[in-house]
Amino acid sequence: MKVPFLDLPLQYRSIQAEVEPAVCEVLRSGRYVLGPEVAAFETEFAAYVGTKFAIAVNTGTSALQLAILAAGLKPGDEVITVPHTFTATVAAILYTNAKPVFVDIDSETFTMDPSQIEAAITPKTKAIVPVHLYGQSADMDPILEIAKRRGLTVIEDAAQAHGASYKGRNCGSMGKLGCFSFYPGKNLGACGEGGAVTTDDAEAARLVRMLRDWGCEKKYHHELHGFNYRMDGIQGAILRIKLRRLHAWTEARRRHAATYDRLLGEAGLPIPRVPPHNRHVYHIYPYRTPNRDRVIQQLKVREIESGIHYPIPVHLQPAYAMLGYQAGQFPVSERIANEELSLPMFPELTDEQTRGVCEAVIEIEKNGSK
Ligand SMILES: *Cc1c(COP(=O)(O)O)cnc(C)c1O
């Protein structure tokens, strides 16, 4: 049975009849950059996340960069985050000339271990960037408590967590600022690049809005050293249509994850731990195995695709050697990087496919242990 890791054209066919006229309408309107479709998407996405404001930008990376700038960070200020994330989290901090400082992750949830934060705080620390990795919220209450007590700003990397929540609060609404990506493969994906910053803070929203558009509030009056990080009108129109389907798509992901949990769990294989207060939206379904290479290889023989998120923690990437970290400093992140295997996950998977993936994984693991 053929099971792709992700099938974007399949999803596109389900919305094609609505998307194509909407895109043609933008083409005819001439409103190619920002414009009414992007403005309407911002209103609708803010309502979805439950914040007063959402500011649409060109990528999730830009969302992070502008959120950090809007939080008032200066060059040399330190930002605490995790090494087990997509590299963009760390790159965005460096784009602002702030300094990323790592703490390890929790071995069960793969998100920031709050018990390690205090020891990483220095007089230069200004912000904490927890990552809601794989679609599951970081343990926000202790993070928010430490931040409040130590006067730090919390900026959520919610690039993988559209619709996820923690104790009933939505990811992207708990920190001062939330950052989302609409890269095509994300749970809410544009037909191209996109991102957004969410916040309840009117001044932060004003700063992000100015920074994405050359630092202007009034055209050609440049008050801030800004950027060209605007969202395309076409992406706004497409994202509005997809946002209306996001809840149903998320429910489908959660159903597939429940099948994986049940069948793998019944076979005695490890399943991801999700604390009961977390609503996980399964951007990724992480399966852990010490036999990763063999499992990937044998899934491939059965035409089942899988992924690794991510094979090298950021502190061990050559590009970030200048941060001065060594192997062994973040043992949990390093172990997960060696053991994590992402099973196929997208809303349009069939029950037959998810069952087939489980049967294949169980068979491969059983044979290997003989
Ligand atoms: C995708 C992603 C980003 C960056 O978003 P882009 O839209 O690709 O720039 C940042 N952080 C995490 C955790 C991501 O998964």
Residue of the CA atom closest to atom 14 of ligand 1: 159
Decide if 271 contacts 262 (C-beta within 8 A): no
Q: What is the pLDDT of residue 302?
A: 97
Q: What is the pTM of this model?
A: 0.98
Span from the CA of 95 to the centroid of ligand 1 (angstroms): 14
Is 235 near ligand 1, meaning CB less than 6 Å away? no
Ligand 1 atom closest to Cα of 85?
Answer: 13
State which of 183, 187, 193, 197 you would mutate to test the pocket of ligand 1, scoring each by most atoms of that ligand within 8 A of its C-beta: 183
Q: Strands 340-343 and 285-288: what pairing?
A: antiparallel
Span from the CA of 66 to the centroid of ligand 1 (angstroms): 14
Q: What is the pLDDT of residue 121?
A: 98
Q: What is the pLDDT of residue 369?
A: 57
Is 160 near ligand 1, meaning CB less than 6 Å away? yes
Is 65 near ligand 1, meaning CB less than 6 Å away? no
pLDDT in tens, the chain (370 residues): 899 999 999 999 999 999 999 999 999 999 999 999 999 999 999 999 999 999 999 999 999 999 999 999 999 999 999 999 999 999 999 999 999 999 999 999 999 999 999 999 999 999 999 999 999 999 999 999 999 999 999 999 999 999 999 999 999 999 999 999 999 999 999 999 999 999 999 999 999 999 999 999 999 999 999 999 999 999 999 999 999 999 999 999 999 999 999 999 999 999 999 999 999 999 999 999 999 999 999 999 999 999 999 999 999 999 999 999 999 999 999 999 999 999 999 999 999 999 999 999 999 999 875 4
Is 282 near ligand 1, meaning CB less than 6 Å away? no
State which of 160, 171, 232 you would mutate to test the pocket of ligand 1, scoring each by most atoms of that ligand within 8 A of its C-beta: 160
State which of 86, 129, 333 you would mutate to test the pocket of ligand 1, scoring each by most atoms of that ligand within 8 A of its C-beta: 86
Is 60 near ligand 1, meaning CB less than 6 Å away? yes
Is 342 near ligand 1, meaning CB less than 6 Å away? no
Is 136 near ligand 1, meaning CB less than 6 Å away? no
Q: What is the pLDDT of residue 311?
A: 97
